């Protein structure tokens, strides 16, 4: 029995050794050499988006040194490990320009060949310079695949924005007049159309509390220093500057002491832009008809204000309870714990109810 066990152990050792030798032999096999007559049979798929994997099959494909998408001469990085005599695997570069074009492939001895391909490069909008507009407002859209945009239309209408300038990463448009309260944009390039996830607010249709000045019966209702200012603006020519003095817990904002602001089911959001102070702060939305009253250390509606930049807020009114204790409120503001180190100023612009 012991002799059989020893025999089996030795046999396993021999098998393992052979396997290792075969593996080493395979790894040591020379790579396919560059051919004087490389031939492409099929590229799969024939169209794709940036970063998708492509497989080219053919013959004489060894020792490829470069792959270039010829629309804009965009190189495609690739791993030589996935390059054999019969195949080449690579990705569509994220920076490839959209549309029909050729992929130019070069091997080590300088032989080139090309394969036709269609880069799917739909417009992409990542950020916008403003969400609010009136007729003539210029808005900058930032993203990708924007250099070939042919039209920008307000979704659900025939109203078309004017294209002011465009490049691959940025598109500047001038907004048309519109009867809509809010709109998204349908942006079309040679690959096709997309509808933006961003929604734009027509200021002419919104209920304004402050735009370039106080509106609809509102005035300065602040506990601390506050004023209409032209120091920093997001749109138009003025903003509302609210200053909070060091060591105070105070609320700055707006008041409508006469008629007040009556509830309307048409109001969907409270929206505003605010430019931050010297450091990040938390402000708390407050109102006299909220459950906690005006000021009064009510921390149920916090907003984080990053330092020194404009930040956009669009808050569902269903979450704020501005009319929780009555159908008409008279005060709407922002209170702060502190500030502790120094006086701080915030700038508010386009304070509105979105319909």
Task: Indicate the pTM of the whole model.
Answer: 0.81
Q: Give phi and psi for 337, each to the nearest 5.
A: -90, 100
pLDDT higher than 50, residue 335: yes
pLDDT, tens only, 254-311? 999 999 999 999 999 999 999 999 999 999 999 999 999 999 888 999 999 999 999 9
- pLDDT for the residue numbered 84: 96
- pLDDT for the residue numbered 94: 86
pLDDT, tens only, 215-228? 999 999 999 999 99
pLDDT, tens only, 79-121? 999 999 999 999 999 889 888 999 999 999 999 999 999 999 9
Distance in angstroms (rounded) separating the CA atoms of residues 65 and 110 = 9
Domains of the chain, first to last: 35-120 (2.60.40.10), 124-201 (2.60.40.10), 207-354 (2.60.120.260)
- Mean pLDDT of the 136-150 span: 96
Half-sphere exposure of 136 (CA within 13 A, CB side): 3
297's tokens: 């250390």
Burial class (CB in 10 A: 0-12, 13-18, 19+), 327: exposed
């Amino acid at each position: 029995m012991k002799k059989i066990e020893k025999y089996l152990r030795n046999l396993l050792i021999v098998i393992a050794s052979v396997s290792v030798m075969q593996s080493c032999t395979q790894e040591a096999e020379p790579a396919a050499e560059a051919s004087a007559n490389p031939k492409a049979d099929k590229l799969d798929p024939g169209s794709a988006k940036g970063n998708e994997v492509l497989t080219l099959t053919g013959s004489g494909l060894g020792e490829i040194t470069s792959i270039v998408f010829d629309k804009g001469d965009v190189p495609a990085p690739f791993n030589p490990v996935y390059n054999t005599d019969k195949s080449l695997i690579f990705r569509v570069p994220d920076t490839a320009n959209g549309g029909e074009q050729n992929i130019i492939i070069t091997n080590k001895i300088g032989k080139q060949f090309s394969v036709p391909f269609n880069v799917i490069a739909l417009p992409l909008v990542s950020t916008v310079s403003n969400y609010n507009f009136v007729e003539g407002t210029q808005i900058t859209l930032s993203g990708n695949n924007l250099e070939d945009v042919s039209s920008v239309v307000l979704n659900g209408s025939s109203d078309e924005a004017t294209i002011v300038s465009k490049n691959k990463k940025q598109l500047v448009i001038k907004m048309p007049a519109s009867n809509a309260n809010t709109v998204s944009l349908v942006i079309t390039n040679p690959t096709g159309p997309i509808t933006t996830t961003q929604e734009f607010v027509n200021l002419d249709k919104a209920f304004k509390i402050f735009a370039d000045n106080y509106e609809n019966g509102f005035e300065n209702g602040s506990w601390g220093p506050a004023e209409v200012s032209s120091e920093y603006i997001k749109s138009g020519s003025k903003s509302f500057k609210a200053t909070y003095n060091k060591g105070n817990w105070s609320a700055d904002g707006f008041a409508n002491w006469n008629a007040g602001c009556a509830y309307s089911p048409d109001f969907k959001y409270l929206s505003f832009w605010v430019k931050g102070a010297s450091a990040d702060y938390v402000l708390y939305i407050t109102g006299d008809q909220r459950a906690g009253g005006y000021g009064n250390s009510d921390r149920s509606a916090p907003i984080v204000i990053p330092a020194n930049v404009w930040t956009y807020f669009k808050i569902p009114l269903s979450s704020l309870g501005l009319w929780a204790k009555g159908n008409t409120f008279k005060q709407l503001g922002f209170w702060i714990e502190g500030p502790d180190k120094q006086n701080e100023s915030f700038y508010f612009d386009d304070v509105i109810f979105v319909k």
